[in-house]
């Protein structure tokens, strides 16, 4: 290997090392969504997931859970209707039950909403 090749390979290796550290640092810090003390049992709210997509967070006596707000039919954004306790899609009338694993309960969707992993850590609800 000549000098130019050595320098190029060294630069690539250094870049990979720095990029790898940055990636692991990002993965190691969970995204804070809301303080747990400000989100009591029975609460629900929209938030932006780490991938930038809209999502819904819920808290019940059994804990916290969340779903992507992207409809599994054709990708419209669902909204939570508290009165009916359903996540409803405005595009074709699909609906999902957030208290039964986000499964479809009406309209054309055949697949449940994607789950988003959340947990409570040090009084924060975080996306893991």
71 part of the interface to ligand FES, by CB under 6 A: yes
φ, ψ of residue 82 in degrees (nearest 5) = -60, -40
54 part of the interface to ligand FES, by CB under 6 A: no
Cβ proximity to ligand FES: between 54 and 107 the closer is 107
Stretch touching ligand FES by CB under 6 A, among 19-27, 30-38, 102-110, 113-121 = 102-110
d(CA 96, CA 40): 22
30 part of the interface to ligand FES, by CB under 6 A: no
Task: Please select the residue that binds ligand FES; options are 94, 98, 102, 118, rule is CB under 6 A.
Answer: 94
d(CA 99, CA 2): 64
Order of strands across the sheet that contains 63-68: 44-48, 54-60, 63-68, 115-116
Task: Please select the residue that binds ligand FES; options are 21, 38, 85, 92, rule is CB under 6 A.
Answer: 92
CA 113 to each of CA 5, 38, 77, 105: distance values in angstroms, whole numbers, following the listed order: 50, 25, 11, 11
- Torsion sign over Cα 12, 18, 23, 27: positive
104 part of the interface to ligand FES, by CB under 6 A: no
Cβ proximity to ligand FES: between 20 and 93 the closer is 93
Q: Interface with ligand FES by CB under 6 A: which residues?
A: 71, 73-76, 89, 91-92, 94, 107-109
């Amino acid at each position: 290997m000549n000098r130019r090749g050595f320098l190029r390979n060294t630069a690539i290796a250094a870049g990979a090392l720095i990029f790898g550290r940055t990636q692991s640092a990002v993965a190691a810090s969970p995204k804070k969504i809301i303080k747990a003390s400000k989100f009591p049992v029975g609460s629900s709210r929209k938030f932006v997931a780490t991938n930038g997509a809209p999502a819904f967070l819920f808290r019940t006596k059994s804990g916290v859970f969340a779903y992507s707000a992207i409809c599994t039919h054709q990708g419209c954004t669902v909204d939570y209707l508290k009165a009916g306790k359903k996540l409803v899609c405005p595009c074709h009338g699909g609906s999902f039950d957030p208290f039964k694993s986000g499964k479809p309960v009406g309209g054309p969707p055949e697949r449940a909403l994607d789950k988003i992993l959340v947990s409570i850590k040090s009084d924060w609800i975080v996306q893991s």
